[in-house]
Amino acid sequence: MQTLNDVLIIFSLSVGVLFICHRIRIPAIVGYLITGVLAGPYGFGLVHGVHEVEVMAEVGVVLLLFTIGIEFSLKNLLIIKKSVLLGGSLQVLLTIGAIFGMMRWIGFGFGEAMLMGFLISLSSTAIVLRLLQEKAQIDTPHGKTALGILIFQDIVIVPMMLLVPLLAGATENAGTFLLILLAKGIGIILLVIVSARWIVPQLLYQVARTRSRELFLLCVVTICFAAAWLTAGAGLSLALGAFMAGLIISESEYSHQAISNILPFRDVFTSFFFVSIGMLLDIRVLLADPGTIFAWTLIIMGLKGLIICGVTLVLGLPIRTAVIAGLTLCQVGEFSFVLSKTGLEYGLLADEYPLFLSIAVISMAASPFLMAGAPRMADLFMRLPLPQRLLTGQTKDFAPDGEKPLHNHLMIIGFGLNGRNLSQAAKKAGIPYVITEMNPETVKKERKKGEPIYFGDAVHDPVLEHLHVSQARVAVVAINDAAAVRNIVETLRRLNPGIHIIARTRFVNEMAPLVELGANEVIPEEFETSVEIFVRVLREYLIPADEIGRMVDQIRASGYEMLRSISPEPLPPGESTLLPLPDVDIRTFRICAGSEMDGKSLAEIGLRQRYGVTAIAVRRGGKTRPNPQGDTNLLADDVIYLLGAPEKIAAVGPDCLAK
């Protein structure tokens, strides 16, 4: 009963706090932290079963890592392997080294200083990925960089936890310990490979055949927690097992259904995790010496942000992406709390624990605001007199010497799905084009295939000038970063006042600013999908093609106002034919060998006289003949299209032909 009471208090308080946060535009994650502070033992003491809340929080972390594993699959990990392996390892090692040196300088012991380096090196996967997904920035250069580093951090937490006893001197034979650690790692990799290829796909196939949603959900949850239990039993972390389970399911064709079933549970239990973190914050410690705590928070976040910024530059990305990535990942992560408890158990973190908790919670609460302001901060750095190498990134692969200048060409900025499709269409149409892309691996791979693609950030004048922007006829901006799109459109218009700019955006509220900056056309993905569905529905209702085209033009010309308005204006006179035809139906029938119609002409059959229906087309041998005449003979296996009232068509029974 007490647990139910605590859950009710948390939910009720969360509703009130989140409502207020929404009204004053504070991110929901901050609201959960505030809820934990208010309800926890150092706040109003409303929740007494803190241990039960922590158990639910662990479930939240397990489900969070499980869904991350499903979403980012082994194939996707290979795509961003440079960010994971090089970026992640550099960030973790440099952060540990910097924090270790600083802690040793102020008097910490070796084990305590190393543990503090472990704790600070980790960032918040839950906060960063949720905010990147909300802002549709996962596929941006800084989003991919952050994702790669976060994945490495989530994996490296396992050896960190296993090294804590070694740091505390609780393990006598370090060599044997490290060999056991290596054996466990190899065993986990083999388990993932075997499960992903043979065991789990077969299991999910048998369960999916039952068509039972409940059974499928239980099976997926069981796989998740079984993997977490298995790794925990082997001395590894619950989170790693959940992540591995997600990777296993991601390789099957059932991953989309699995994640759709898990997401509601993940969101509920993850909220408990953030509430439990808020409960750890002792307001008395914060109020006792706020200056020292905030100073340490700024030092740690600033140092970590600088390291991440430097690592991003090493990856070959420009300063703008580096600044945004640094501000995105400079907080302390949720797994630092898990690791800190292990440190407490071995006596490596005692007097410093309250200070660490305060710094960690404040850094996490500040993250949504830092991420929101990161593009503006990056723009300030862009105005500094920095070397061109920092401004544009890895330019050595850009614009090789002796290349023929382009004229009247198409510029494709961004080589995602839209950019690829556009390049294929331009190639088939014989339109000269050039591509700029921010992912150096994509550039290297596509250049080997013969694509005219170059590395560079199109925000900068020199990059666009290398692409001969002054001679270009059309530029298509097809990237996901809304702030970068605005900067690129403004730069394009300034460098070439006559160029036709088509910008793609995910959000309709970006249309007006982009047009003001110089875009000729703005294509919002939110509503273009709706327009395509709308067109196909109208075709099914047999609306004339010219009327469909007129309506689509009207929707686009009005800035999609018809789709945005709750009560749209009625259609103009002359367009009232947008009506369903409930009394008319079109169906297809196949002529059976030996049936009444086999070998006879339409005039002999007399469909209109006998049944009140009209043959509007006949398909034979893959070719369709519209408006067949009365002398058209029907043969076995012909498909005939009949138009008429539904009840009339139904009267054309199987005695004559087969459906």
Asked whether residue 564 is domain-assigned, the answer is no
Clarify whether residues 162 and 310 are in a common domain. Answer: yes
Pairing of the two strands 433-437 and 410-413:
parallel
- pLDDT at res. 165: 79
pTM for the full model?
0.66
- Residues 114 and 167: beta-carbon distance below 8 Å: yes
Q: What is the CATH number of the domain that holds 494?
A: 3.40.50.720
- pLDDT at res. 55: 78
**DSSP states of 227-292 as a string?**
HHHHHHHTTS-HHHHHHHHHHHHHTSTTHHHHHHHHHHHHHHHHHHHHHHHHHH--HHHHHHSHHH
Lowest mean pLDDT among 256-270, 371-385, 425-439, 606-620: 256-270
What tens digit of pLDDT does each residue of 52-109 get? 777 777 787 788 778 777 766 666 666 677 788 888 899 999 999 999 999 999 888 8
In this model, does residue 654 exceed pLDDT 70? no
Clarify whether residues 343 and 439 are in a common domain. Answer: no
How far apart (Å, rounded) are the C-alpha atoms in residues 224 and 226?
6
Asked whether residue 549 is domain-assigned, the answer is no
- 45 Cβ partners below 8 Å, 6+ apart? none
- pLDDT at res. 97: 95
Q: What is the CATH number of the domain that holds 600?
A: 3.30.70.1450
Of the candidates 210, 232, 207, 209, which has an alpha carbon nearest to the alpha carbon of residue 221? 207
From the number of C-beta atoms within 10 Å of its C-beta (0-12, 13-18, 19+), residue 76 rates as middle
- 152 Cβ partners below 8 Å, 6+ apart? 84, 85, 87, 88, 89, 91, 92
From the number of C-beta atoms within 10 Å of its C-beta (0-12, 13-18, 19+), residue 512 rates as exposed
- pLDDT at res. 392: 67
Asked whether residue 300 is domain-assigned, the answer is yes
Give the burial string for 44-72 (b: 16+ CB within 10 Å, else e).
eebbeeeebbbebbbbbbbbbbbbbbbbb
What tens digit of pLDDT does each residue of 249-274 get? 876 777 767 777 777 777 777 788 78
Q: 289-297: which pairs have CB atoms within 8 A and are 24 or more residues apart?
A: 293/355, 293/358, 293/359, 293/362, 294/362, 296/355, 296/359, 297/358, 297/359, 297/362, 297/363, 297/366
In this model, does residue 401 exceed pLDDT 60? no
Record the tokens describing residue 349, joined without a space: 């973190």
- pLDDT at res. 492: 92
Clarify whether residues 342 and 225 are in a common domain. Answer: yes
Asked whether residue 11 is domain-assigned, the answer is yes
Q: Tell me the residue type at 253.
A: E
How far apart (Å, rounded) are the C-alpha atoms in residues 568 and 562?
5
How far apart (Å, rounded) are the C-alpha atoms in residues 157 and 163?
10
**DSSP states of 453-495 as a string?**
EEE--TTSHHHHHHTTGGG-SEEEE--S-HHHHHHHHHHHHHH
Clarify whether residues 106 and 59 are in a common domain. Answer: yes
How many folded domains does the chain comprise? 3
Residue at token pair 């050039």 = 434
How far apart (Å, rounded) are the C-alpha atoms in residues 387 and 77?
32
What tens digit of pLDDT does each residue of 528-564 get? 666 777 777 777 666 666 677 777 777 767 666 666 5
Which residues, in sequence order, are bridge partners of residue 453? 435
- Residues 36 and 277: beta-carbon distance below 8 Å: yes
Asked whether residue 244 is domain-assigned, the answer is yes
Pairing of the two strands 453-455 and 433-437:
parallel
Clarify whether residues 139 and 167 are in a common domain. Answer: yes
Q: Which of 519, 537, 561 is the last residue of a domain?
A: 519
In this model, does residue 123 exceed pLDDT 70? yes
Residue at token pair 């100073």 = 295
Angle among Cα 335, 340, 346 to the nearest 5 degrees reads 140
Phi, psi torsion values for 574, nearest 5 degrees: 95, -10
Assign 3-class secondary structure to 593-615. Answer: CCCCCCCCEHHHHCHHHHHCCEE
Q: Which of 519, 549, 570 is the last residue of a domain?
A: 519
- Residues 77 and 151: beta-carbon distance below 8 Å: yes
Mean pLDDT of the chain: 80
In this model, does residue 236 exceed pLDDT 50? yes
Asked whether residue 361 is domain-assigned, the answer is yes
How far apart (Å, rounded) are the C-alpha atoms in residues 529 and 531?
5
How far apart (Å, rounded) are the C-alpha atoms in residues 419 and 413?
7
What tens digit of pLDDT does each residue of 303-348 get? 999 999 999 988 888 888 899 999 999 999 888 887 888 888 888 8
Phi, psi torsion values for 451, nearest 5 degrees: -75, 140
Clarify whether residues 27 and 56 are in a common domain. Answer: yes
How far apart (Å, rounded) are the C-alpha atoms in residues 605 and 550?
41
Record the tokens describing residue 581, joined without a space: 């035809």
Helix, coil or strand: residue 427:
helix
In this model, does residue 403 exceed pLDDT 60? no
Clarify whether residues 49 and 195 are in a common domain. Answer: yes
Q: State the pLDDT confidence band at 296, using cuts at 50, 70 and 90.
A: very high
Percentage of residues of the chain with pLDDT beyond 70: 85
Clarify whether residues 404 and 511 are in a common domain. Answer: yes
How far apart (Å, rounded) are the C-alpha atoms in residues 642 and 616?
6
Percentage of residues of the chain with pLDDT beyond 90: 13
How far apart (Å, rounded) are the C-alpha atoms in residues 313 and 307?
10
Which residues, in sequence order, are bridge partners of residue 412? 435, 476
Asked whether residue 307 is domain-assigned, the answer is yes
Which residues, in sequence order, are bridge partners of residue 626? 617
- Residues 612 and 644: beta-carbon distance below 8 Å: yes
What tens digit of pLDDT does each residue of 566-618 get? 444 554 444 444 444 556 777 778 888 888 888 888 888 888 888 888 888 88
Q: Which of 340, 357, 379 is the last residue of a domain?
A: 379
Clarify whether residues 408 and 361 are in a common domain. Answer: no
Clarify whether residues 514 and 616 are in a common domain. Answer: no
Clarify whether residues 58 and 204 are in a common domain. Answer: yes
Compute, in degrees rounded to 10, the torsion defined by CA atoms 255, 258, 259, 260.
120
What tens digit of pLDDT does each residue of 140-158 get? 788 888 888 988 887 787 7
Q: State the pLDDT confidence band at 399, using cuts at 50, 70 and 90.
A: very low
- pLDDT at res. 295: 93
Q: State the pLDDT confidence band at 115, using cuts at 50, 70 and 90.
A: very high
Record the tokens describing residue 399, joined without a space: 């614009």
What tens digit of pLDDT does each residue of 475-519 get? 999 888 888 888 899 989 988 988 999 898 877 777 888 888 889
Phi, psi torsion values for 228, nearest 5 degrees: -65, -40
Range of the domain at 473: 392-519
Q: What is the CATH number of the domain that holds 230?
A: 1.20.1530.20
- pLDDT at res. 394: 58
Clarify whether residues 144 and 292 are in a common domain. Answer: yes
How far apart (Å, rounded) are the C-alpha atoms in residues 142 and 317?
9
Q: Residue 490, Cβ neighbours under 10 Å: how many?
A: 18
